[in-house]
Structure formats: C-alpha cells, structure tokens
C-alpha cells in the first residue's frame, strides 16, 4: 500500500517519516519480521495534531502498523477517500450526500463515518462584564468586517468602572484553525474586521480577556480561568442560550461546537478496523481530551 500522496505538506509528514525510518533501522534488518501495514490518513487541519498523536501512540500499541498522517483540510481528505487514495479521511464536518454518491459510484463502497471527538469554542468576557449571553448575530456585529458594534453600550451593556467602553476584540492569528472555525460559524465565512488583537495562543486570549474589562475573545472551552466568564450562546435571537459544556457539546445544542469524524470506504477491515477501534477506546479518547477537544462519551461510542 505504498501510494504516492500528492499535495501533502512535507513538514506534516516529516516527523512521522523520520520516526518510521528510525523504527525500521531499529529492526536491524530483521528479514523474518512480518511486513508492516501502512494506513494512509488524510484530512482536516483541525484534527491533524490529534491524528498525529494517535499515530504515534498507536505505534506503541501495534508496532507492526504505521499510520501516515497528513492535513490539507476536510474536503481534501474526503476527496482523496472518494478516489480510494487514502484509507481514512479525517473531517471536521459531516460528509455531503454528493460525496457519498460519488464514493459509491467510484468504488462501489459507501463511506462509513465514526465520530471520534468534538471541538467547541467558548466566547469569553471579563468576569466583571454583566453580559452573560450572546447571539451569533451579535458576535457577527462585533467581529465581522462591516459589523456595527464597536461599543458595549451599543449592545446595551454597561461595564462598571469603565469610562471608555470601546469593545476590545481579541482574536487569533490568521493561520489558526480556531480562527477559521470562528470565522466559518460566527461570521458566516465573512472576514474579521481589522484592528482586533490577534494573539498566537488559546491561553493568551483568555489571559488578555481576563485582564481587560472591556474585552471579548474566543478560545477553547478548556482554557477558562477565574478571571473570565464564558458566555451562553444562541444561534439567533429568540432561540435558547446554551452554555458551553461537555453535555451541550454532546447533544449539539451549543452552536459553536462540531463533531470530528473519520471516514472509511465501506465497513473498515483489518488494520484500519483495529486502528479505529483503538481511537474510540479509552487510550485513543484520552489523546482527544489531552489535545484540547471533547472526547466521545462511552455510551455514544459504536459497539464492535
């Protein structure tokens, strides 16, 4: 199963390839060793880090299986799966009906998906900010290019002890997956208004919001500190406001959450089957949690 992988950023692979090469050398040219099976894994950039840790951890559990991980985006991974070029596609969105149709036409096998974790963003404000709820439309007005909210008073919020109530927008640098997720879900893929403080880490966002009474920021929900407050978010005016927590992420009522999937062509077989089972085991789900995502609750994991 040595397939040329085109358009793969080499640096994403290099670490794994180097490790693989080392492992191969460590074998000391053992001619009696069984042939390694290689699993090709491609897709979502949001998931590429967690997928690489899976691959590395899985090597300890199953040394004869090598998982080659690359990013490129959910669409890129699924496109490769439809052509039968990869074994597993990572996707941070649901597969589209057209893609299912295409895969069945190309390969005769309908894609099968597994939810392997969840990703949720919390919207943070300073703990003294009286605001406790926000709608996606309000987030759009605050953050998007062409949005109109520049002062807290325009949202009907009075922050105690503050003379200048200009909203201090805290954002992420443009290469961040969090930035893209927020842009896609809160800004409907419109651009951010310039002038936000673009910080380079999830933790930095929460720290700046925690020290600035007039700030608002978004970051993973695992980064909360006592100095900040997580807002309840509603899809639109009139819809219920939902607090970001594991339960709301699991039942998909929180608007800034999404499932992370892996897809295979047909029911997974052999090494791929064992790998996906391992991802959904406690060991694989621990990786999800340690990477800052929400693991799948045990009762929602598929039975094998």
Partner 1 sequence: MNHDGSTPDALAARPRRPAWAVQGERALEALVRLAGVSAILFVAAIFFFVLREAAPVLVKDDFSLAQFLFSTEWYPTSASHVRYGTLALTVGTLSVTALAMLIAVPFGLGAAVYLSEFCAPRLRETLKITIELLSAIPSVVWGFVGLTVMSRLIVSTTGAPVGVNVLNGGIILALMSVPVIVSIGEDALKAVPDSYREAGLALGATRWQLVYRVLLPAARNGLLAAVLLGVGRAVGETMAVLMATGHAVHIPGSLLDSVRTLTANIAAELGEAPAGSDHYRVLFLTGTLLFLITFAVNLAADFVVRGIRRR
Q: Is 35 helix (H, G, I), strand (E, B) or coil?
A: coil
Nearer to partner 1, 49 or 104 (CB): 49
Give the list of residues 6+ apart from residue 221 with CB closer than 8 angstroms, or none.
120, 121, 122, 230, 244, 245
Question: Which residues on adjacent β-strands are paired with residue 192?
Answer: 144
Nearer to partner 1, 114 or 182 (CB): 182
Instruction: With beta carbons less than 8 A apart as the criterion, state whether 201 and 219 touch.
Output: no
- Pick the stretch among 55-63, 161-169, 241-249, 282-290 that binds partner 1 (CB under 8 A): 161-169
Interaction of residue 37 with partner 1, rule CB under 8 A? no
Question: Which residues on adjacent β-strands are paired with residue 172?
Answer: 199
Interaction of residue 163 with partner 1, rule CB under 8 A? yes
Nearest to 257 by CA among 185, 201, 187, 204: 185
- Pick the stretch among 48-56, 135-143, 187-195, 275-283 that binds partner 1 (CB under 8 A): 187-195
Instruction: With beta carbons less than 8 A apart as the criterion, state whether 209 and 163 touch.
Output: no
Give the list of residues 6+ apart from residue 176 with CB closer than 8 angstroms, or none.
200
CA dihedral 43, 45, 51, 55 (to 10 degrees): 80
Interaction of residue 6 with partner 1, rule CB under 8 A? no
Instruction: With beta carbons less than 8 A apart as the criterion, state whether 159 and 132 touch.
Output: no
* Shortest reach from residue 272's CB to partner 1, in Å: 29
* Rg of the chain taking only CA atoms, in angstroms: 22
Interaction of residue 215 with partner 1, rule CB under 8 A? yes
Question: In the stretch 116-135, what mask flags binding to partner 1 with x, by CB under 8 A?
Answer: --------------------
Interaction of residue 205 with partner 1, rule CB under 8 A? no
Question: In the stretch 244-283, what mask flags binding to partner 1 with x, by CB under 8 A?
Answer: ----------------------------------------
Contact pick of 104, 184, 222, 241 for partner 1 (by CB under 8 A)? 184
Contact set with partner 1 (CB under 8 A): 9, 162-164, 166, 168, 173-175, 179-180, 183-184, 189-191, 194-200, 208, 211-215
């Amino acid at each position: 199963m040595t397939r040329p992988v085109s358009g793969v950023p080499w640096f994403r692979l290099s670490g794994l390839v180097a490790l693989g090469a080392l492992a191969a050398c460590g074998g000391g040219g053992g001619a009696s060793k069984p042939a390694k099976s290689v699993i090709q894994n491609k897709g979502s950039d949001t998931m590429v880090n967690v997928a690489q840790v899976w691959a590395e951890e899985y090597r300890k559990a199953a040394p004869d299986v090598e998982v080659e991980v690359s990013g490129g985006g959910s669409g890129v991974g699924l496109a490769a799966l439809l052509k039968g070029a990869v074994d597993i596609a990572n996707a941070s969105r649901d597969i589209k009906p057209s893609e299912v149709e295409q895969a069945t036409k190309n390969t005769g096998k309908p894609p099968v998906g597994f939810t392997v974790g969840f990703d949720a963003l919390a919207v943070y404000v300073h703990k003294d900010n009286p605001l406790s709820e926000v709608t996606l439309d309000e987030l759009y007005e605050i953050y998007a290019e062409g949005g109109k909210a520049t002062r807290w008073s325009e949202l009907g919020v009075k922050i105690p002890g503050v003379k200048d109530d200009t909203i201090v927008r805290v954002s992420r640098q443009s290469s961040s997956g969090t930035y893209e997720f927020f842009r896609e879900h809160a800004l409907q893929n419109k651009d951010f208004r310039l002038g936000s403080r673009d910080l380079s880490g999830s933790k930095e966002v929460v720290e700046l919001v925690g020290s600035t009474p007039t700030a608002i920021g978004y970051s993973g929900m695992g980064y909360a500190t006592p100095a900040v407050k997580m807002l309840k978010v509603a899809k639109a005016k009139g819809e219920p406001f939902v607090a970001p927590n594991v339960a709301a992420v699991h039942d998909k009522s929180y608007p800034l959450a999404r499932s992370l999937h892996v897809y295979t062509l047909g029911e997974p077989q052999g090494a791929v089957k064992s790998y996906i089972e391992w991802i959904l085991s406690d060991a694989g789900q621990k990786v999800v949690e340690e990477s800052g995502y929400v693991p799948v609750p045990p009762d929602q994991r598929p039975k094998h």
